[in-house]
């Protein structure tokens, strides 16, 4: 019994070390594989007779294999903006190009820690192995709506359209104009001043707002009052607002706005210093400055100076490049100098990453051992940030694996020697009867 148990233990040792050799070989073979997480074989003793004092029966050894998914590799820089890696805990959601091409309403979702995503002929961001990056599409204003966090249902393939033209209509405008104080005195002509301010409509058409300033000339003294009239070319030059501007004439705040009174049009907001203008096709927030502040409309000296007029918006723009920020937001960069968020890529986290089911191409699936998943904004909660222009290298330490290889080889040889010794002892037992 004792000799035969020794033979069984030796065989178990050979199998255990062969199993360990397989994981070492896999780790070394994938030492240059981006995103690879190393496998590890652990040995566990098997006890056949726990407290026997008469004879001892060798129980041998058994092994368990685990993939250390929570053990990440170092990050390296690349030249591709959509080479992505998670710096810290978490995974990127991906699907398969086969499911996306087949228009599967519920495509299978798997997880990766890194990937080199590039647009294919249809603009879909995918890897060479057919993994498609998934994300939440942004609204037209770049915001992300109310999306489910415990379900993959809201995710869509990230798709770029390089031939798409987009409009960037004007939504904000600022008037930094100085009105001549001398023209509001008694005896002045009361002549108006006009300035044309261009803006871009909803279809990126060029429109103008004609702003006319007419001084109020009193019988005596100075009124420090102007009437501002605004006409919109997109509204057939109709008046879209008329306002009475009163300027401060005191020593402390001379020349700054004292009050803005609406004769027609939107009401002036003293908190923000803005007026909502309803133009053809939308609304523009017109900034004329806050009460008592010198960085808006002023009335000083004797010169009309429209020196600081700014607005947002641009002509028709086309896509030139994309970038991903640390929050996982994918921005489209346009040739007119503005950017717009078009997708957000969530970071998926599970309670036990090592419980995920490992698949080919460094992908993982949620299992009962990993626990339920949750979709985080990158950098929130326990998750790390998303880095563009980055890849995660293999987590394999080749020097450590080679050391383990030597140990495994010696252990395997020693177990083989045990089997050889048992064979010789059994041969001696057989030779007793001769």
Start-to-end CA distance of the chain, whole Å, equals 23
* The pLDDT value given to residue 104: 87
pLDDT over threshold 80, residue 433: no
Question: Alpha carbon of 102 to those of 65, 96, 105, 345: distances in Å?
Answer: 36, 10, 9, 22
* Residue 52 burial by Cβ neighbours in a 10 Å radius (0-12, 13-18, 19+): exposed
* The pLDDT value given to residue 1: 57
Mean pLDDT of 191-196: 95
Count structural domains, the chain.
3
pLDDT over threshold 70, residue 268: yes
Residues linked to residue 232 through DSSP beta bridges, in sequence order:
209, 238
157 and 180 share one domain: no
Contact 101, 420 (CB under 8 A): no
Residue 20, both tokens: 């360990």
93 and 31 share one domain: no
How much of the chain exceeds pLDDT 70, in percent?
98
Helix (H) or strand (E) segment spanning residue 23? helix 2-29
Residue 354 phi/psi, 5-degree rounding, is -70, -10
33 and 139 share one domain: no
Residues linked to residue 214 through DSSP beta bridges, in sequence order:
227
122 and 239 share one domain: no
184 and 270 share one domain: yes
Half-sphere exposure of 124 (CA within 13 A, CB side): 19
Using DSSP bridges, classify how beta strands 298-299 and 172-179 pair: parallel, antiparallel or unpaired: parallel
- Determine the Cα–Cα distance for residues 14 and 25; give it in Å rounded to an integer: 16
Residue 407, both tokens: 């140990």
369 against 48, higher pLDDT: 369
Residue 197: give its domain's CATH number.
Answer: 2.60.98.20
Q: Which of 312, 335, 352 is the last residue of a domain?
A: 312
406 and 423 share one domain: yes
Q: Which of 278, 312, 346 is the last residue of a domain?
A: 312
Contact 355, 371 (CB under 8 A): yes
176 and 289 share one domain: yes
* The pLDDT value given to residue 381: 92
Q: Domain residues for 326?
A: 75-163+317-392
Helix locations, 92-228, DSSP H: 97-101
79 and 64 share one domain: no
Using DSSP bridges, classify how beta strands 193-200 and 206-215 pair: parallel, antiparallel or unpaired: antiparallel
403 and 383 share one domain: no
pLDDT over threshold 70, residue 282: yes
Q: Which of 292, 312, 332 is the last residue of a domain?
A: 312
* The pLDDT value given to residue 294: 87
Between the CA atoms of 155, 160, 166 and 171, what dihedral angle is there, to the nearest 10 degrees? Answer: 40
Place of tokens 């028709």: 316
- Determine the Cα–Cα distance for residues 275 and 284; give it in Å rounded to an integer: 8
Helix (H) or strand (E) segment spanning residue 248? none
**Cβ of 324: how many Cβ atoms within 10 Å?**
26
Q: At what angle do helices 398-431 and 2-29 cross, to 10 degrees?
A: 160
pLDDT over threshold 60, residue 190: yes
Per-residue pLDDT band at 50 (split at 50, 70, 90): low
Mean pLDDT of 220-245: 95
368 and 272 share one domain: no
176 and 308 share one domain: yes
- Determine the Cα–Cα distance for residues 365 and 363; give it in Å rounded to an integer: 7
Q: What confidence tens digit (pLDDT) does each residue in 90-114 have?
A: 999 999 999 998 988 889 999 999 9
- Determine the Cα–Cα distance for residues 257 and 271; give it in Å rounded to an integer: 13
Residue 416, both tokens: 């083989």
Q: What confidence tens digit (pLDDT) does each residue in 329-353 have?
A: 999 998 877 888 999 999 999 999 9
* The pLDDT value given to residue 137: 94
Mean pLDDT over the full length of the chain: 91
How many residues appear in the chain? 434
Mean pLDDT of 18-29: 95
- Determine the Cα–Cα distance for residues 350 and 355; give it in Å rounded to an integer: 9
Q: What confidence tens digit (pLDDT) does each residue in 122-144 have?
A: 999 999 999 999 999 998 888 89
pLDDT over threshold 80, residue 321: yes
pTM of the model: 0.75
21 and 103 share one domain: no
Per-residue pLDDT band at 164 (split at 50, 70, 90): low
Q: How is 289-315 classified by DSSP, letter by letter?
A: --TT-TTS-EE-TT--EEEEEEE--EE
How far does CA 9 lie from the centroid of its chain?
53
Residue 63 phi/psi, 5-degree rounding, is -130, 155
- Determine the Cα–Cα distance for residues 316 and 167; give it in Å rounded to an integer: 5
């Amino acid at each position: 019994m004792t000799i035969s148990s020794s033979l069984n233990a030796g065989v178990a040792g050979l199998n255990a070390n062969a199993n360990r050799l397989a994981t070492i070989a896999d780790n070394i073979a994938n030492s240059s594989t981006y995103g690879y997480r190393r496998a590890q074989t652990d040995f566990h003793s098997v006890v056949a007779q726990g407290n026997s004092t008469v004879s001892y029966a060798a129980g041998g050894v058994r092994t368990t294999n685990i993939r250390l998914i929570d053990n990440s590799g170092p990050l390296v820089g690349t030249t591709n903006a959509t080479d992505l890696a998670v710096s810290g805990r978490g995974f990127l959601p991906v699907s398969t190009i086969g499911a996306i091409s087949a228009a599967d309403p519920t495509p299978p979702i798997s997880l990766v820690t890194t990937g080199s995503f590039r647009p294919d002929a249809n603009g879909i961001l995918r890897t060479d192995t057919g993994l498609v990056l998934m994300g939440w599409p942004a609204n037209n204003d770049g915001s992300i709506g109310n999306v489910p966090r415990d379900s993959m249902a809201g995710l869509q393939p990230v798709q770029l359209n390089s031939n798409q033209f987009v409009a960037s209509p004007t939504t904000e405008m600022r008037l930094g104009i100085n009105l001549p104080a001398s023209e509001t005195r008694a005896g002045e002509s009361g002549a108006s001043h006009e300035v044309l301010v261009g803006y871009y409509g909803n279809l990126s058409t060029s429109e103008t707002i004609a702003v006319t300033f007419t001084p109020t000339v009193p019988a005596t003294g100075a009124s420090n009052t102007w009437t501002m009239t605004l006409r919109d070319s997109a509204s057939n030059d109709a008046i879209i607002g008329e306002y009475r501007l009163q300027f401060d004439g005191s020593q402390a705040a001379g020349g700054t706005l004292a009050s803005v009174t609406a004769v027609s049009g939107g009401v002036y907001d003293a908190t923000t210093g803005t007026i909502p203008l309803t133009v053809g096709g939308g609304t523009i927030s017109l900034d004329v400055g806050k009460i008592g502040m010198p960085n808006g409309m002023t009335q000083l000296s004797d010169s009309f100076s429209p020196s600081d007029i700014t607005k947002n918006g641009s002509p028709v723009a086309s896509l030139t490049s994309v970038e991903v920020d640390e929050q996982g937001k994918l921005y489209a960069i346009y040739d007119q100098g503005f950017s717009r968020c078009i997708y957000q890529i969530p970071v998926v986290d599970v309670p036990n990453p090592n419980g995920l089911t490992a698949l080919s191409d460094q992908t993982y699936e949620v299992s009962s051992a990993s626990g339920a998943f949750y979709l985080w904004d990158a950098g929130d909660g326990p998750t790390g940030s998303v880095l563009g222009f980055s890849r995660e290298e293999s987590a394999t330490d080749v020097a450590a694996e080679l050391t383990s290889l030597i140990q495994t080889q010696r252990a395997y040889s020693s177990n083989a020697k045990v089997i050889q010794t048992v064979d010789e002892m059994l041969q001696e037992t057989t030779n007793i009867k001769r």
